[in-house]
A and B are shown apart, each in its own frame.
Chain A
């Protein structure tokens, strides 16, 4: 089984963001990066499926060359090879441009299964996975919390408003991963050393035209300080009153 896990390097979620001088992007100073939370779940699932069914896991990202740290982390956990399509302006790509580039590389590499996070934690679009599937013409199940693979086919569970849906699909397929799918493992220090010897290909990313562009980036207004209305059961009426008449949410 050939599995490709797509990951994105994103600013850490504890970032205290500052808007850069251009008014369109984040100030890069002091920003720390990590693999997008749901993409870690995609990597974990890829490795678990490989451990179960055999095969090979490739980790694919579009990003700056510094994304090698995040790719090597996935290699340290058990993926077999990494590919970085180097694009220093990766953050500016829109989902369709991203999906087109990924589709091109995935066609070249060949795969039975492509796993992605359900959403990137930086931009919250949740669209690259389904767009990629459409471009490839493959089956797609999103927000998956359970995945079983068989001979040329698979089933995937997802939580929908009405309850749990179970889908059957034929491989190759694109799956986007939801939180409860698995518990990502730690890289492990031996794995980190082993990852140094695994292949990591860096190739220039084909240019792509984004159809949407960020015009302006503004931080949310600062939250007003909270207020403690009292303590214990005696404070409940005052709290209800405040929620009803001040906050107007009851």
Chain B
């Protein structure tokens, strides 16, 4: 708690200083002291600095640098989770819980939208409110998608999997998490300035003429980008530098490879979204005209820069999920990962190709018409490396001994949902077909299948799979299965009809629709409410099992990877003796297969 209070105090003081400095400059130019949006932006940028100083930068960096006595946070127990804690396992849990909370919030917003869309006409809210809710839902969900899985398991599990004691830069790791709370505050604060109605894409030039809430969106996206970049640097360095003895590249568990791919994407592409946000802000508050066609700018430029990040971001959201699914499928099929090296190849292929497809979001935007063809081809080519990942899943299950526990069910659902997301993506990648489908509910259904059906279902799979490891207790298997079927059915009943709606004239981001789409929307809304309840079942199972669950064994699933070779939960630096890797991580079916040994430490003389 102290951390948060310090952060808020630091932030508020800095906000005042930042806005005041701008005010003084404004006065010097003969303008009013308070410049509205411009002052908010200046204040916010200062707020972030003040907040970071308050939560830990002052204690951990500044004091040390100036040789002042450093006070260490020595929190233990639950209160650790509210401090600037450098233990990677604490940071992992911080990410997980924070983003599950944000997911719940964004889900509630979805329920609000579905309530309004239940019947044609205005039902519960004004069009302005609906647009605001829709935009917030999208933005928060994208943040959840980008950071939840890799933030939680990339921090908690990945270092253990490679036999490290912690991340390469523990303090930076804590810092990357502490960027998140102010972003959440900021997005929520947008409501008090009338919100914004641009959707999560914030297209120019609507962004420069709409309500001022849009600057909150710009600043939030800009700020959360720092968190992504720092997290990516950390994961890359950790995997490169901190692998245990004998953990050759060819022995890395597939989840580590997936996180590595994700980190590469975040590191390379996040700067583009920051750029798009800055340019958009400058257009709006400082009178630049990057995107204003009536003043020499180009509105398409925004879309290009935006999607240059936001398409790779789709793979930031889904790659870690695919890694988790493969991990689980191998363990629960009792078979080695089929064609492991090809799967790695596939994931890296996705990383490379994802840089070459951004314009498929712009097929009807007025971009140069023949240019659409190469983007159509590159987009369809992504099915090739993705296909390799699918083949690995299939080959692993084929001839295995499948155990259908909750994590496995979720992993199989990832395959099912992501497959639907993928094949509907092929429709959308095809220019002539996309001309009809672009900006309709078909697209909405498609990306929910990939990001929620793939990414978020994989997050659930991972939570169930590693729950015993992280908490030391088993979740309730029966409830887990019920929740799985509940969500799986609810999810499909919600999103399949959206394909139909899109084909039949339901355009995207609308607060209202023509009456002949009434029935399908009513059905969708009902399914969505059903789906929403499924999340509560999950929360219940997790919360109750935390106290009442059976005590978990160290290796309840019979996995070979390193996290199962230490206690549940793992001790402070993960292993009592440093592990040495001696074989590949999926030794099923090989007599005496070993992934790791723990040599007795050489006696120190």
Co-complex (A, B): no
Q: Which residues of B contact A (CB under 8 A)?
A: none
